């Protein structure tokens, strides 16, 4: 069990985030959050439409 080495012992290079890495993480966050935001906006639009069309005449 003593064979496992720490990551620092295996690779001495520091972790660097390049432009493509940041871009990939940004796109991934947008792919997760955008459907939720659109769903919320759609529900609010339907609620406002119902309120303005039927309740407030």
At residue 56, the pLDDT reads 79
Q: What pLDDT digit, counting tens, does each position of 7-56 carry? A: 556 666 788 889 999 999 999 999 999 999 999 999 999 999 999 998 87
- Report whether pLDDT(4) > 60: yes
Using alpha carbons, list the distances in angstroms from residue 31 to 9, 21, 23, 42, 57: 36, 15, 12, 17, 39
């Amino acid at each position: 069990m003593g064979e496992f080495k720490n990551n620092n012992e295996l690779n001495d290079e520091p972790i660097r985030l390049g432009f493509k890495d940041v871009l990939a993480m940004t796109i991934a966050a947008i792919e997760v959050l955008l459907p939720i935001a659109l769903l919320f906006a759609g529900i609010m639009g339907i609620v406002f439409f119902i309120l303005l069309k039927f309740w407030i005449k």
